Amino acid sequence: MRVFKSLSMLCTSFCPSPSCARLYLLLTRVLLSLAFLRTSSSPSHCYARLLVLLMHLFFIYSPGPCMNGGEIRTNTFNEEGRILQVEYAIKNVSNAGTTLGLTCTDGIVLLGITTTNKNHIISRNEKIYRITGSIYCTISGIFSDGLQIISMARFIAQEYLYRNGVEMSIGYLVEEVAMRMQYFTQGGGMRPFGVSFLFAQVRGDECLLYSTDPAGSCNRWRAKAFGQKEDSINNALQSNADRQFTLEEGVRECFKVVMQKQEITESNAANYEVLFITKDRSYFLKSEDVKRIIRDTKGDVE
């Protein structure tokens, strides 16, 4: 033990950085263990000690290459001041099926587009989910990550209702969800959630639309899109930010914007989930209504 303490002081004095000193000290311990192995009466003990030291050397000081040579640790900034794993998660969302939300004068339109063919599959909705009696959300990104966050959001909302006797406000709920998503960007041994959300609620005469992303940011919007072609779709939505739409006009505007960036056909109507949220009720459009809207919108675009 005295030998190791002396080595530690020596390495700390002569090495340029603490990490370098720890590395030299660990290498010295490996060499000493090899020397003790030759003279020890209990080789098995020395072998075990040597194995532990080598494992420390490999797992702690290995560079750990990642995607395109990136950093595998989520809580580490690179030389450019960026956290690459968070950027990879956001990039994953931009390759997922498109989700879009638009606030209107009489409610909110939520549109979700799945990338898998659902014409011959009987399944539940994949893009739009109910959180509380009046709060809905869309997910864009890794499906399993989205379900995990949805379960967490439902638990948070129900716990708040149980403790306070009133429904949780959408702003507070989104902040709680965003805070938990942000936590997974700064802890060791964790990865960011590869999913972005749109949360929507009509409260009185106020239409509320919020978003969260893998970085844990939280924002309120009049219109917002995630997924494929999200940048161009958001630019198109912002160009009409001053216009006031009814729900019927709003859903046409959503399909019109998406049609200019992606291929939308009536034959894939089952892949398009459309939800109308009003002050009195919320309901999904039937496949026949979606086909009619696509047909009418195509005529306007052409």
Residue pLDDT, tens place only, 131-160: 999 999 999 999 999 999 999 999 999 999
pTM as predicted? 0.75
Work out the end-to-end distance of the chain between its first and last CA atoms, rounded to an integer number of angstroms. 82
Same domain, 204 and 268: yes
Are 25 and 163 in the same domain? no
Q: How many CB atoms lie within 10 A of CB 228?
A: 19
From residue 262, give the alpha-carbon distance in Å to each of 100, 101, 113, 257. 13, 17, 11, 9
Q: What percent of the chain has pLDDT over 90?
A: 55
Same domain flag for 18 and 135? no
- Asked whether residue 25 falls in the same domain as residue 109, the answer is no
**With the C-alpha atoms ordered 264, 266, 269, 275, is the resulting torsion angle positive or negative?**
positive
Does a structural domain hold residue 164?
yes
Burial class (CB in 10 A: 0-12, 13-18, 19+), 268: middle
Q: How many structural domains compose the chain?
A: 2
CB atoms near residue 52 (< 10 Å) = 12
pLDDT of residue 70: 47
For residues 45 and 112, membership in a common domain is answered with no
- Residue 276, strand partner residues: 109, 283
Mean pLDDT on 97-103: 95
pLDDT of 288 above 90: yes
Is the model's pLDDT at 69 over the cut of 50? no
Domain extent for 260: 84-300
| Confidence at residue 39, expressed as pLDDT on a 0 to 100 scale | 57
Q: Would 244 be classed as within a structural domain?
A: yes
Domain closes at, from 46, 61, 76: 61
